[in-house]
Structure formats: structure tokens, C-alpha cells
Amino acid sequence: MPTNRGTSKSNICLTITLYILQGMNLGLTSSIPLFLIYYGATWKDRGTFNFAMYPFSLKLLWAPLIDVLYIRRFGRRKSWLVPILLISGAVLFSISFFIQSWIINNRVIILTIVFFIIVFLTASEDVCVDGLAITLFAVSNPQWASTSQAIGQTFGRFLGSSFLLTFESANFTNKFIREPLSLPYQTTGLFSLVHFVRFVAVAFLIVTVCLIIFVREKEEKLDANGKKAHDLSLIETYLSIIKLFKKKCIQKITIVALISPIGFVAIQTMTPLALISQGVSRENLALVNIPVTLAAIITPLIIRHTERALDWYARFYVLYLIHALPLAVYVYFTPSMISSGYYYPVLIILLTISEFIRTLLFASSVGFSASICQPDIGGTYMTLLATIANLGYALNSSAVLYAANLLPKKYDYITAVSASSFLGLLWFSLSCRTLKRLQKLPASEWHIKKEANINGATTLDEQDQNVLFLTHTEKN
């Protein structure tokens, strides 16, 4: 597997395939609430199930282990990817025998625990693939790290959500597939949720076998100048996280990542469930999401070579919040318009615009992370930034969902979206100058300065060893 010798198509295909696997798990996880709400789940139940996504907010705890510990002969990334993919496939295959019963009986706690495990494995895979992408694209074009992630995860999410919800529906398959082909009507779709979960399990196993047979990993450690760097020990990698948090720029971007999601979590997490509550069927929602997903896959290509990603993030953030209000109003009036001929075309346009802006927002955020990332701790660095962002999103979305459960049912969605957008615009007005200053910083300001010992190996200074000691003693 060539590294840092140009943006080769094989590297792009490899990373996109691995991101697709992540996306299928995440899409499946996001589809579970849509099945649950059919059996009477509340916003509180949705908020409880939201905890299944928290491993993405905690993966920094074990990311250094993945970044540092590996079997050299087997390969830095393959040492972790192979067992993670195998275990993921085994878990998915096992739960396929019980998942339908859990959903029908509204076993939210069990589902949350099971999908917490699945998302934990997915988050661990994400650490490996993020580090792999940084290694492959650090020199040739860092933006491809975010582009491949956006394309792969988006398509995977599509398979785990829209594709699943559409062809799992008996109404859709009877009307648009069986009837035109003169086939007898059935009470089920082309496949069930159980069949799809098993399909995903098999996909994980097939990719694992291909990874073992066809991918040969050539390990090279590169610094910011494209030169070969030295491996860091596990302790040094954890110390690097402490050093990063001591940097003012990291502290500022942490505050940004923790607070900024308040502006858009309501429109992202509540819109699909609100549409179903207002009378849109699961299969119709899935069909609506097909053009929306296509837009999300194509959109990242627009900014794959764009510089100053944080400036673009600021622009897309404001556009996203402004667009959220007309979308929320349209969803609110769904019952009175759903039977009209224009309802679904307009809904598709509004959702496509929303997804277009959201994808650009996400891609610019990941692109900025890739541009400032330090390659010799690439997996840990990207995981640090992604963990902070995921934690901000998870905390804000849980708070919004639990708050929505306390609002009058008729106005819960539009009230939550309006309040969320207002708070987001207020935050942006207070933070836009900070974003501009962070964008102007050179990449070297975001990196850890290392010292060389007598043997030329990279080490951390004595002060940072004391930091680790003090941190340990304070916890005790």
C-alpha cells in the first residue's frame, strides 16, 4: 500500500470503502429510532438511545493505543482493522436474531447497550482509518482525507438508512416492484431489518478477508515537512495529548467545537422523527432522502482543493442556521399539505439544500482538522479533534431531545429548532473573530515541538513527564 506518493486512486478507494463500512453501522444506528417511534417511542426514549453514539465522544481514551501498539510485521493499521472488522461482523450477525423483537417490545435500554458496543467498534475503526487517511494524503492533498470520509460515510449511511427503510417497506415494494413485475403482493418488503443486519455483517467479513489478502501496508512516519519521523511510545502519545491541550489554539478550538453544535442539533436530530410524527411514512421519508443523499455524496468534491477551511465553516454555519427556520416551518405544516401535489417536491428541495450545506459544513470542519494535523501522531490528533466535535454534538443533542420532551407536543419541534437556531446565531456573533484568528495561524502553531535525545529519537521534555506524574497523583 503506497503512502504519500501522490493521491492514487487505490488509496482513495481503500479509504472510501472503509468509511462506507462505518457509515453502514452509523446509518443502521440512526434508523433504529425511526423503527422505535412506530411502536410508540417518545423524545425521551430517543434521548436515551442517543447515548449509543457516545463512544465517538470518548474514543480519545483508547486512540493512542491504536496509534502506537501494533504488530509491525502485520502492519500499523491492519493490526487493529482486521480484528475490529471481524468482531463487528460477529456482533452484527449475533444481534440479527433478536433485534426485531427488541424493537417491537420497545426495549430501548437493551438496544442502547448493544448499539453502544457497535458504535464503540465503529469509533475504533474510525481511529484507524483517520490515521490511515492522514498518512496517505498528508503530502499530496490533505483535503482528500475529509473528502473520502464525507463520501464514504455518507454513502454508507444511505445504505443503512434510506436504502434499508425503502426496501424493507412492504407498501413500497408491492406498489413499485411487485406490481409492475406482476408478482403477488407480500406482507414484507424485499428484505427485513434482520436480513439487512446480516448483510452488513457479511460485508464486514468480506472486506476483512480482502484486507488481509490484498492490502500490503508499508509503514512510513512523516513529520510536517514530509520527512521520516520517529515512532512515539505509548506514554509519549498520551503526553502529546496533554501537550496539545496546553496550547491556547487547541483550547480555543475546543470551546468552539463544544458550543457551536447548539445551533443545528435540533434540525439534524429531530427533523426525521418530526416528519414521521406529522404523517410521513418511513418509506416515503426514505425515498425523499435518496436525492438528498446523492447531493451529500457529490457535495464534498466542491471543496476538495479549498484552502482556509475554517473560513468556509463559518459561512456554511450561518447559512445552515438561516435555512433551518423555513424547513422547520414547512415540517410543522405537514398535516395540512401532505396530500397536495407540491408537498414532497418542495420537501425534497428544502432537505437537499439543508444536506448540501450540512455536508459542506462537515467537510470544511474535517478539512481544517486535516490541514493542521501532525502526521506522526495523525490518528491520535484527528481523533482528538473529532472527539471534541462529537462530544459537543452528543451533549447538545441529548440536551435538546430531553428538553423537547418537556415542551407541548404540538409545538415541540418548531420551538426546539427556533431556540436552537437563535442560540447558534448568538454564539456565532460572539465567536466569529476567534474563528478568523484561528484560521490565520500557521500549521506549525498547532503542532507539538519535540526535542531530540542523543540517539536522535524523539522524546518529550522533563516538564511533560512531570505533568503525567502530577496528573496521575491527583487522580489518586
Q: Which residues of 91-102 are buried (b: 16+ CB within 10 A; e: fewer)?
A: bbbebbeebeeb
Stretch (H or E) spanning 459:
strand 458-459
Residue 25 domain flag = yes
Residue 430 domain flag = yes
Q: In this structure, what DSSP letter does residue 447 have? A: S
Q: Which residues of 245-273 are buried (b: 16+ CB within 10 A; e: fewer)?
A: eeeeebebbbebbbbbbbbbbbbbbbbbb
> Do residues 400 and 267 lie in contact, with contact meaning Cβ atoms separated by under 8 Å?
no
pLDDT grade, residue 38 (50/70/90)?
confident
Residue 225 domain flag = no
Concatenate the DSSP letters of all residues of 195-216 into one string: HHHHHHHHHHHHHHHHHHHH--
pLDDT grade, residue 423 (50/70/90)?
very high
Residue 224 domain flag = no
**Residue 319 has what pLDDT?**
94
Q: Which residue, among 44, 60, 100, has the nearest Cα to 238 in the 3D structure?
A: 60
Residue 328 domain flag = yes
- For the entire predicted model, the pTM comes to 0.74
Residue 4 domain flag = no
Q: What percent of the chain has pLDDT over 90?
A: 37
Query: What radius of gyration, in Å, describes the C-alpha atoms of the chain?
Result: 23
> Do residues 108 and 45 lie in contact, with contact meaning Cβ atoms separated by under 8 Å?
yes
> What sign results for the dihedral spanned by CA atoms 206, 56, 116, 295?
negative
**Residue 99 has what pLDDT?**
95
Q: Is the pLDDT of residue 120 over 90?
A: yes
**Residue 458 has what pLDDT?**
43
**Residue 304 has what pLDDT?**
57
Residue 143 domain flag = yes
Give the number of other Cβ atoms within 10 Å of residue 450's Cβ.
Answer: 19
Give the structural domain span for 391. 9-219+230-475
Split into its structural domains, the chain has a count of 1
Tens digit of each residue's pLDDT (9 = 90 or more) over 242-298: 888 889 999 999 999 999 999 999 999 899 989 988 989 888 888 888 888 888 778
pLDDT grade, residue 232 (50/70/90)?
low
Tens digit of each residue's pLDDT (9 = 90 or more) over 89-116: 999 999 999 999 999 998 999 999 999 9
The gap between the terminal CA atoms of the chain, to the nearest Å, is 44
pLDDT grade, residue 371 (50/70/90)?
confident
Residue 3 domain flag = no
Q: Is the pLDDT of residue 381 over 70?
A: yes
Q: In this structure, what DSSP letter does residue 178 have? A: I
Give the CATH number, domain containing residue 367: 1.20.1250.20
